[in-house]
Amino acid sequence: MQLAWTLLLAWVVRRSSPKIYEDVSDLPGLGYDFVIVGGGAAGNVVANRLTETQNFSVLVLEAGVSNKGVIDSVVSFFVEDLLSGPNIYDWNYTSTPQIGLNNRTMPYPRARILGGCTAHDGMVYMLLAVRRTTSIIMRL
Ligand SMILES: Cc1cc2nc3c(=O)[nH]c(=O)nc-3n(C[C@H](O)[C@H](O)[C@H](O)COP(=O)(O)OP(=O)(O)OC[C@H]3O[C@@H](n4cnc5c(N)ncnc54)[C@H](O)[C@@H]3O)c2cc1C
């Protein structure tokens, strides 16, 4: 029962042909080489790497819904809508009272949607790997 709740959205990857399923009963099977819990940046990168060269089957379990058609997640700066109040695309956490903030609490956004926080992070900043940064500087 717990598994069925978590598996609102599953991503099966085999040889770079990912498919999204929204119901457990639609899955082509229940045996996978790897099962990854969380379809955020880390989970999806690992799934992609695992299927790059090997014929592994990978199941990614994501608690949230698909990001497909969620325009606020796609268009830069529309993301404010996703961050401005309780909604189904977020875990809707609130911090504990913070002594340093006069005991105020704060919203603590963590995405609950395929893509994880990359679906609502707005790409305000991007951090490159050191090697990539060096190669860009060398070309300047
Ligand atoms: C508001 C905000 C702005 C940001 N801005 C930037 C930026 O401009 N530039 C930048 O580089 N980074 C930014 N970040 C950081 C970046 O988005 C995160 O570091 C990155 O997305 C973390 O990836 P992750 O895979 O570790 O976790 P997440 O992206 O959080 O993914 C975790 C996934 O696991 C799912 N999950 C959790 N529990 C379960 C469960 N029990 N079962 C199934 N699924 C589960 C969640 O729903 C979520 O989809 C920002 C983050 C936030 C919150």
Map out the domains of the chain as residue ranges: 2-62, 71-139
- Paired tokens of 98: 């913070």
Which percentage of the chain shows pLDDT scores above 70? 89
* pTM score of the predicted model: 0.86
Q: What is the pLDDT at residue 98? A: 96
Q: Which of 81, 93, 121 to mutate to test the pocket of ligand 1 (most atoms within 8 A of CB)?
A: 121
Q: Looking at the CA of residue 124, tell me the nearest atom of ligand 1.
A: 8
Give distance in angstroms: CA of 63 to centre of ligand 1.
12
Query: What band does 3 get if pLDDT is binned at 50, 70 and 90?
Result: very low
Q: What is the pLDDT at residue 13? A: 65
Residue nearest to atom 51 of ligand 1 (CA): 121
Phi then psi for residue 97, to 5 deg, are: -55, 130
87 or 18, higher pLDDT? 87
Q: What is the pLDDT at residue 112? A: 95
Say which amino acid occupies 56: F
Q: What is the mean pLDDT of residues 87-104?
A: 96
Residues with CB under 6 A from ligand 1: 6, 37-43, 61-64, 83, 109-113, 116-118, 121-127
Q: What is the mean pLDDT of residues 45-73?
A: 90
Q: What is the mean pLDDT of residues 38-54?
A: 90
